[in-house]
Amino acid sequence: MKKNVGLVDRIIRAAVGIGFVVLSVLVSYWFLIGAVILFMTAITKSCPIYQVLDISTCHIKEEEK
């Protein structure tokens, strides 16, 4: 997949993912689904929704890699 998630976006996704893990312990295990999605998009540097909407927060173009 094309990388379209930049560094700041990845940090925010990881932080919100940690918050979702805490919420899953305190409130409901359903927050784990959101946490997994956020962690996976942060790790893979690719977001399917960004790809559909043709958005990229990554500053390096695919051709330069």
Is the CB of residue 24 less than 8 Å from the CB of residue 64?
Answer: no
pLDDT for res 1: 78
Closest Cα to residue 16, out of 46, 44, 45, 36?
36
Q: Is residue 2 part of a domain?
A: no
Helices and strands per DSSP (H, E), number in the chain: 3, 0
Residue 15, domain extent: 7-64
Q: Helices 31-44 and 7-26: crossing angle, nearest 10°? A: 160
Residue 28 placed within a domain:
yes
Is 32 among the domain residues?
yes
According to the model, what pLDDT value does residue 49 have?
92
- Tell me the per-residue pLDDT of 7-42, one tens digit each, with 9 for 90 and over: 999 999 999 999 999 999 999 999 999 999 999 999
Q: Output the pLDDT for position 2.
A: 85
Give the residue with greater pLDDT, 13 vs 59.
13
Determine, yes or no, domain membership for 1. no
Whether 44 shows a pLDDT value over 90: the answer reads yes
